[in-house]
Structure 1
Amino acid sequence: MTAEVTYDDALVARDLVKSYGGVRALDGVDIRLRGGEVHALVGENGAGKSTLVRILSETLTADAGEVRTTPDTRIAVVSQELSLFRDLTVRENLFPYDPPRRLGLLDRGAMDRAARPVLAELGLDVDTGVPLGELPLADQQLTEIARALLRRPGLLILDEPTSALPAAAVDRLERVLRTLTGRGIAVLYVTHFLDEVMRFAQRVTVLRDGRVALAGARRAEVDVPELVTAMLGGSPPPPARRARAEVDLPPPVVLSEVEVPGRLSDVTFTVRAGEVVGVAGLQGAGHLDALAVVCGRTAVSAGRVDIAGHGLPRSLREAVRAGVAFVPSDRKRYGLMVDREVWENTTTVSWLALGRGGVLPSRAELVRRTADLTERLRLRGGPHDLVARLSGGNQQKVVIAKWLATEPKVVVLDDPTRGVDVGVRAEIHRIIGELAAGGAAVLLASTDLAELTEVCDRALVFVRGRVVGEVRGERLTERELAVAMQKGVVGPGAVG
């Protein structure tokens, strides 16, 4: 029996089936999206969320089933993997199709007038004439949301829209969602952040292994543990307890009175072998610049830097040779060759950059090493799978596998669990613990303050390019970090 679309329904999908080879990505999925509601879609990486979004947005055709919309429903999609053009201006990215013209030329004034209220609604204060690539990742993500809103959609699909956003921008997005649903717009909100489900959504659907595990439940009738159980079929594994590695060696990371003009001022800290140290700060606070110094991606004008006994690395290549591993927040731009197989990705650094295995190691040997890594990381995919066909969480595991193969002394992680589900998040945290237990010095930046409190031994708080203090022990809480980042002062009792 076919469901009829009512006036209140922006979209109804019934019995959707989609297979890739012998793998069924969707197996009889139903979903109903109502105008004036935020409908959350959650599930583990590989559960079928991306396939469903592509079918609903008509970029992929289902093998079976049907999707119905009202005749006037315009669908706009904001993808987790940004589809913007970094070399074009913000303005040109906002109007990629049929921009306003005057006398045959682009009417920049009309474009800015149309964009201004939408940008203001998102709290995005940028010069629309600058190249998009000059903006921070968070502002690029807000630009993509603005572009979708300028299409005046009846259904807005947001795929991990807050994965790169600081807390203040998430608050602004919440206000925008209220405005949109107040206009009768339907919002499909795809996320791994279950607290956002409870905060934003009126309904939630959970996918597990391509099937609906929880169908359109009212948010008020479920809680986070129930959502986790529906996603995983059980509770997530508890975080692994780890003993600090006691290594009587000089600390692998030493920064002393480091200066980077306009970005860092008098920054001093060390990271000992076996430690996981978090770096926390608001956008532009300097914590990411400190990581860039460690990785050889930013030059210093003064101060002393010693990384794994090799002094200051002057490039990422020098840092890698000194024993530094760098897992970036933007995995597709910096971390992966998505059009190549898994084994080619995991061996690029250890073989090509470090020469592990000789000048011409056999392909069979490289594949074997990859198989060992993928088993250790519990990656859903084999050495010969194309990276582009893996889920986001498994792609992130490939990035981590590439660096594990180098047996690093220093591990730098920038938002390593961005856009992954709770199960993969727990596995990545396990890997971080194993690295530290093996004697690596780990530096971790995360937009998720809960992650810093769960994984780190201590956290350094940056404000305006300076380390204002350190939080550890029982004081290492989300609240303590948030207050310190805002006020620039670490609470009493913390080590300064």
Structure 2
Amino acid sequence: MLVASGLVKHYGGVTALDGVGIALDAGEVHALVGENGAGKSTLVKILSGVVRPEGGTVELDGAPVRFADARHAAAQGVAIVSQELMTYDDLTVLENLFPYGAPRRRGLVSTREMRRLAAPVLAELGLDPPPHAKVGALPLADRQLLEICRALLQDPRVLILDEPTSALPRDAAARLAAVTRRLAGRGLAVLYISHFLEEVMRVATRVTVLRDGRVVLPGAPAADVGLDSLVTAMLGQPARHAAAAAAAPRRPGGAAAARTAVALASVTVPGRLRDVSLTAAGGEIVGLAGLQGSGHLAVLDAVCGRARPASGTVRLPDGRSPRSPRHAVTMGVAYVSGDRKGRGLMLDKALWENITSVSWLGQGRGGVMPRRSRLVARSRAHLERLRVRGGVRARASELSGGNQQKAVFAKWLDADPAVLVLDDPTRGVDVGARGELHGIVRGLAAEGKAVLIASSDLAELVELCHRVVVLQHGRIVGTLAGDRLTEPELSLAMNAGFADPG
């Protein structure tokens, strides 16, 4: 259906693609995997018309094509769902589903026809938002599914799914996997990019691996590729089976662990939390888990000053309560979101400006006009510590997803917070970068900082946390720690509330 051959692309002195090729057959799910910076995003942008290659060819149905832009590619039958959400948050659900060429009746846009066309696709994805709701008010998972729905309404022949489950809870991810297989069964060619390798092995027919801008495993049958060999191809070295050794200890250590850094007492946020009480001590990594709308993300918002309790109190290390997000920052609260482009970075600014933005502008360190050389030097030290691939003066938009997320961490490291609030902090990053980010979190906890983390990846919570607090319908239904902190127990507690309260 679609064949790319010998693709070459450079960004400055960096080679993003060096003779890359891939072939997508009708009726198959072809997975594309690799570390952040391996060239996946550049390849996807070329296939979808966003970027033009400097060399190589692309053929669609046996005929050479050269897309002018993404809209032209979509008109030719190549649709993409990007890792970075492209929804129009100020528009309604229906307006987002039909941004171009909305159905008309007597010259006027027909919302009735829009709803008729959208209904079966929304139902297949298990999505039922109010059609006239503003998309910016929807949860991240719903916005991700909405983008997929929009792509399917274009009736594509080739569908590119770039990290489609990165913001989805487990049940929605499983539903999307089933939908993806059905689409391939109808004759679509699906290119599936994901950092969840177990998911890749379940969904894909074939797998291509990129490393450093080159193909190192070309279209191998997924049934013939083991998980370990897939990781070895990605990283260029054997996978290390050290998850148990690397996992956080089940009890935080050090003197800081005796000091309560965050305390919620009988907190109620109308429609989100009901009488929630919990604490996190310095040196402790506390997970928050629940199904969509259960309240676990509302706890993060309360700590960050984004949600004001109607009753109860939220106390930070100095004993005060956050009145607003800005006030929380001045009190030493860091917020790291998986939505790095929407809430994490100023994409048009240099990395040094991003990294020093909180400590300088938010906390007022260094005076009104600090010396730029000092800010740049400080930023460079953070980039080197986190092994970010990108110069200190590079724009944030030029980095791969994993390096962008490391830059978000660097920004908060520069602010030296007392409390870290993490919302899906490794969303859309590869297995190598994920391990590095986990190491950063453990290191910060070892320094005595309190960490609160919510994640759609249950394995991440089990691997990182000392304990996990589970919520349902705005209430705490249990706490898992020690030997009980396993994925099956956590899934059971989230879905049934059977965990013993802690």
TM-score of the alignment, normalized to the shorter chain, above 0.5: yes
In the TM superposition, what are the counterparts of 1:96-135 in structure 2 within 5 Å?
Answer: 96-135=99-138
Q: Which amino acid aligns with 2:96?
A: N
Cα distance per residue 1:427-448 (max 9 Å; x no partner): 0000000000000000010000
1:204 is paired with a residue whose SS is strand
2:308 is paired with a residue whose SS is coil
Q: Which residue pairs with 1:35 in the alignment?
A: 26
Q: Which residue pairs with 1:315 in the alignment?
A: 324
1:404 is paired with a residue whose SS is helix
Deviation for aligned residue 1:495: 5.6
Q: Which residue pairs with 2:494 in the alignment?
A: 485
- Of 461, 480, 486, the match for 1:452: 461
Task: Indicate yes or no: 2:255 matched with 1:247.
Answer: yes
2:247–2:464: 8 Å Cα contact kept in structure 1?
Answer: no
Q: Which residue pairs with 2:392 in the alignment?
A: 383
Deviation for aligned residue 1:256: 1.1
Q: Which amino acid aligns with 1:188?
A: L
Q: 1:69 to 1:471 in 2, by over 3 A?
A: same
In the TM superposition, what are the counterparts of 1:5-24 in structure 2 within 5 Å?
Answer: 10-24=1-15
Deviation for aligned residue 1:236: 5.1
Distance 2:369 2:110 in 1: 57
- Of 178, 183, 193, the match for 1:180: 183
**Matched residue count:** 484
Q: Which residue pairs with 2:67 in the alignment?
A: none
Task: Indicate yes or no: 2:57 matched with 1:54.
Answer: no
Task: Indicate yes or no: 2:160 matched with 1:157.
Answer: yes
Q: Which amino acid aligns with 1:23?
A: V
Q: Which residue pairs with 1:293 in the alignment?
A: 302
Greater CA deviation, 431-440 or 77-86? 77-86
Q: Which residue pairs with 1:257 in the alignment?
A: 266
Q: Give the RMSD, CA atoms, in angstroms.
A: 1.4
Distance 1:313 1:481 in 2: 30
Distance 1:278 1:426 in 2: 17
Q: Which amino acid aligns with 1:220?
A: A
Deviation for aligned residue 1:302: 1.2
Deviation for aligned residue 1:385: 0.6
Task: Indicate yes or no: 2:83 matched with 1:75.
Answer: no
Deviation for aligned residue 1:466: 0.7
Point out where structure 2 has 5 or more consecutive residues left out of the alignment. Answer: 64-74
Deviation for aligned residue 1:235: 3.6
Q: Which amino acid aligns with 2:212?
A: D
Distance 2:313 2:86 in 1: 40
Deviation for aligned residue 1:311: 2.0
Q: Which residue pairs with 1:273 in the alignment?
A: 282
Q: How high is the TM-score relative to the length of structure 2?
A: 0.94
Q: Which residue pairs with 1:3 in the alignment?
A: none
Q: Which residue pairs with 2:204 in the alignment?
A: 201
Distance 1:97 1:394 in 2: 33
In the TM superposition, what are the counterparts of 1:322-471 in structure 2 within 5 Å?
Answer: 322-471=331-480
2:103–2:114: 8 Å Cα contact kept in structure 1?
Answer: yes
Distance 1:183 1:318 in 2: 53
2:223 is paired with a residue whose SS is helix
Deviation for aligned residue 1:24: 1.0
Deviation for aligned residue 1:350: 0.4
Distance 1:135 1:319 in 2: 24
2:493 is paired with a residue whose SS is helix
Deviation for aligned residue 1:304: 2.4
Q: Which amino acid aligns with 2:325?
A: L
Point out where structure 1 has 5 or more consecutive residues left out of the alignment. Answer: 1-9
Task: Indicate yes or no: 2:195 matched with 1:192.
Answer: yes
Distance 2:198 2:441 in 1: 23
2:247–2:463: 8 Å Cα contact kept in structure 1?
Answer: no
Q: Which residue pairs with 2:71 in the alignment?
A: none
1:344 is paired with a residue whose SS is helix
Q: Which residue pairs with 1:7 in the alignment?
A: none
Deviation for aligned residue 1:14: 1.1
Deviation for aligned residue 1:135: 1.0
Task: Indicate yes or no: 2:225 matched with 1:234.
Answer: no
Distance 2:421 2:489 in 1: 23
Task: Indicate yes or no: 2:56 matched with 1:65.
Answer: yes
2:260 is paired with a residue whose SS is coil
Q: 1:236 to 1:433 in 2, by over 3 A?
A: farther
Distance 2:253 2:395 in 1: 37
Distance 1:330 1:219 in 2: 30
Q: How high is the TM-score relative to the length of structure 1?
A: 0.95
- Of 479, 484, 495, the match for 1:475: 484
Task: Indicate yes or no: 2:94 matched with 1:91.
Answer: yes
Cα distance per residue 1:404-430 (max 9 Å; x no partner): 111111110000000000000000000
1:73–1:155: 8 Å Cα contact kept in structure 2?
Answer: no
Q: Which residue pairs with 1:45 in the alignment?
A: 36
1:245–1:436: 8 Å Cα contact kept in structure 2?
Answer: no
Deviation for aligned residue 1:159: 0.4
Deviation for aligned residue 1:309: 2.2
Cα distance per residue 1:117-150 (max 9 Å; x no partner): 1111111111111111121111111111001001
Cα distance per residue 1:289-347 (max 9 Å; x no partner): 01111111110011122111232111111111111111012111111100000000000
Distance 1:30 1:304 in 2: 57
After the TM superposition, which segments of 4 or more aligned residues of structure 1 sit over 6 Å from their partners?
A: none
Distance 1:121 1:272 in 2: 44
2:8–2:55: 8 Å Cα contact kept in structure 1?
Answer: yes
2:248–2:463: 8 Å Cα contact kept in structure 1?
Answer: no
Distance 1:329 1:204 in 2: 26
1:138–1:164: 8 Å Cα contact kept in structure 2?
Answer: yes
Deviation for aligned residue 1:241: 5.8
Distance 1:326 1:341 in 2: 20
1:252 is paired with a residue whose SS is strand
Cα distance per residue 1:355-402 (max 9 Å; x no partner): 222222110000000011011111111210110000001111111111
Distance 2:239 2:344 in 1: 27
Q: Which amino acid aligns with 1:387?
A: A
